[in-house]
Amino acid sequence: MTAATAPTPSTASGPTRSRGATIALWTLQVLLALMFIIGSGAPKLVGEAYAVQIFTDLGAGQWLRYVVGVLEIAGGIGLLVPRLAGLAAACLVALMVGATGAQLFFLSEGFWYTPVILGVLLGVVAWVRRAEILPRR
């Protein structure tokens, strides 16, 4: 018979962070989650006039507004779930790359900096939580 050893706290729940770093990371995640759920995803799903106009200007059809809204809400919820936070942040970075491209190349508004700023903040979350994205072996 072999003796099984219990995993150490740093290997069981990811890398060890200071209390301040953990609080800062969770504060950032909660603020980003609120932004994506309430500030961005929900208006797209309920048909807020500005969101409808943006997707009309894109010319891709309103179906894309619903897809993006669902992805933003799912990503925002994922940022609040410890096991999913890193993956959700990485996926939202990809969504922000697409939003930046749409703003730069298809829309005349010029608000390209908003998805860039959000993408950088999400990139920080994804980078800090990168060890939690890959499955443990």
User: DSSP letter at 52?
Assistant: H
Residue 93 has pLDDT above 90, yes or no: yes
- Cα distances from 106 to residues 12, 22, 63, 69, in angstroms, run 46, 39, 17, 19
What is residue 73's predicted lDDT score, i.e. its pLDDT?
98
What is residue 49's predicted lDDT score, i.e. its pLDDT?
94
Residue 9 has pLDDT above 90, yes or no: no
**What's the distance, Cα to Cα, between the start and end of the chain in Å?**
22
Q: Token digits for 132?
A: 């939690």
Which has the higher per-residue pLDDT, 123 or 16? 123
Q: Token digits for 20?
A: 């301040």
Q: Token digits for 118?
A: 């959000």
The domain locations on the chain are 18-130
Residue 46 has pLDDT above 60, yes or no: yes
- The amino acid sitting at 136 is R
Residue 103 has pLDDT above 80, yes or no: yes
Q: Taking the model in full, what pTM does it have? A: 0.84
- Whether 92 and 72 have beta carbons less than 8 Å apart is answered as yes
